[in-house]
Amino acid sequence: MKIKIIYTSLTGNTQEAVEVLSDALTAKKIEVETFDSEDGIEVADFFTEADAYVLATFTDEDGVVPDGIIDFYDDIADFDLTEVPIAVLGTGDTSYVDFCRAVELLAEQCQASGAQITVPLLKIELAPEAEDVAAIEKFAEQLTQQVAAR
């Protein structure tokens, strides 16, 4: 099984969450390929050759999708993701009204293009702590079970 992850992270919290996820998947003998969306991978080059895909983002001011992944987000609208299994997670800060809104926006964009959101969205408060690590490991377990059952 192969899973591709794309993320954006400004201060490292989301990157940390992605590293925890990558480690959890690798421990299950799953091949993981991770991309920083700021490196500019095209949607068509990302959504290929894997069994499932993970998108990870923080949330920027007033609940918007961050600049680092906005082009990718926009391009999803014009890309056919019918039946493609996707999971979305991210970090945010509950002191903002729109906690982790960008996680929802990414998931909605994927769903609008036909994707299957395979596991519940995972929203993490700032840098992952022990309970978040456990939640990410559960996310990894659910995702791999869903993909294996397809």
Ligand X SMILES: Cc1cc2nc3c(=O)[nH]c(=O)nc-3n(C[C@H](O)[C@H](O)[C@H](O)COP(=O)(O)O)c2cc1C
- The residues binding ligand X (CB under 6 A) are 9-15, 58-63, 91-93, 96, 98-101, 126
Under a CB-based contact definition with an 8 Å cutoff, are residues 36 and 42 in contact?
A: no
Residues 6+ apart with CB under 8 A from 19: none
> For ligand X, which is the closer residue by CB, 30 or 56?
56
> For ligand X, which is the closer residue by CB, 58 or 72?
58
Amino acid at 16: E
> For ligand X, which is the closer residue by CB, 63 or 133?
63
Nearest to 111 by CA among 150, 84, 91, 149: 84
Residue 82 beta carbon to ligand X: minimum distance, rounded to whole angstroms: 30
> For ligand X, which is the closer residue by CB, 125 or 141?
125
Q: Looking at beta carbons, which residue is closest to ligand X?
A: 92
Residue 114 beta carbon to ligand X: minimum distance, rounded to whole angstroms: 27
Residue 19 beta carbon to ligand X: minimum distance, rounded to whole angstroms: 11
Q: With H, G, I as helix, E, B as strand and everything else as coil, classify residue 24.
A: helix
What are the start-end ranges of the E strands in 59-137? 85-92, 116-117, 122-125
Under a CB-based contact definition with an 8 Å cutoff, are residues 112 and 81 in contact?
A: no
Residue 130 beta carbon to ligand X: minimum distance, rounded to whole angstroms: 17
